[in-house]
Amino acid sequence: MKSLKLSILMTMLIAVLTACSSEDSTSAASDESAASASASSVKAIEFVDTQESKPLVIDAALFDTPQAKEFLATGNNPYLGNEEAIAKGKKVYQLYSCTQCHGPEAKGQVGPGLTGPNYKYPKNSTDKGMFETVWHGTNGGMGAKGVGLMDPTDPKNGITPDELLKIIAWVRSMGNPDPAAS
């Protein structure tokens, strides 16, 4: 009798211990699954080219600043209205020869004006749309990433996503067509 009680006690003890340790392991497992869920479900917008609206794959690793990552996740350009980014964007615009075709004020030269509100490609009133246009070019004389200094076959050469977001912030600051559209 005594030994039966003892064995019941032991069983209960073991049950409690297992419960504890399995609780530990469940919580560890759920931590793990939460981590892997957030890693695998990194939210990213889907880019399409401006020519045919075909999927445009851009290596996520190129989005290497917090702002570029935010854009990749949401399609919003965090640099809009940011004076420092706008000033940098203007420099990058000049550096990558956008000036030659679109003019120093982005009001147009050989190429069209970029300040809107009317665009040849209406999607350029959104930041995602303008990003895609500049990244991939168009059919009508606008090379990928503005070609000139850039080699469009090498994604590491030329404008980075972060720089392009700054260019767009500058272009928008020159006469924003419709901020609500971005």
Q: Using CB atoms, what's the residue nearest to ligand HEC?
A: 140
* The residue to which tokens 């003892």 are assigned: 6
Alpha-carbon gap, residue 121 to 138, rounded angstroms:
9
Binding flags for ligand HEC, 125-144, as an x/- string (CB under 6 A): -----x--xx---xxxxx--
Tokens 């420099």 label which residue?
Answer: 91
- Work out which of 89, 146, 161, 177 binds ligand HEC, going by CB under 6 A: 146
In the block, tokens 């404008």 appear at 159
* 164 CB neighbour count, 10 Å cutoff: 25
Q: Count the site residues for ligand HEC by CB under 6 A.
A: 27
Could you tell me if 130 and 122 are in contact, meaning their C-beta atoms sit under 8 angstroms apart? no
Interacting positions 66-125 with ligand HEC (CB under 6 A): 96-98, 100-102, 110-112, 114, 119-121, 124
Task: Write down the least CB distance from residue 40 to ligand HEC, Å.
Answer: 33
For residue 110 the two structure tokens come to: 């050989």
**CB closer to ligand HEC out of 81 and 108:** 108
Angle between helical axes of 161-173 and 127-136 (0-180°, round to 10) = 120
**Residue among 69 and 113 whose Cβ is closer to ligand HEC:** 113
Interface with ligand HEC (CB under 6 A): 96-98, 100-102, 110-112, 114, 119-121, 124, 130, 133-134, 138-142, 145-146, 148, 159, 167
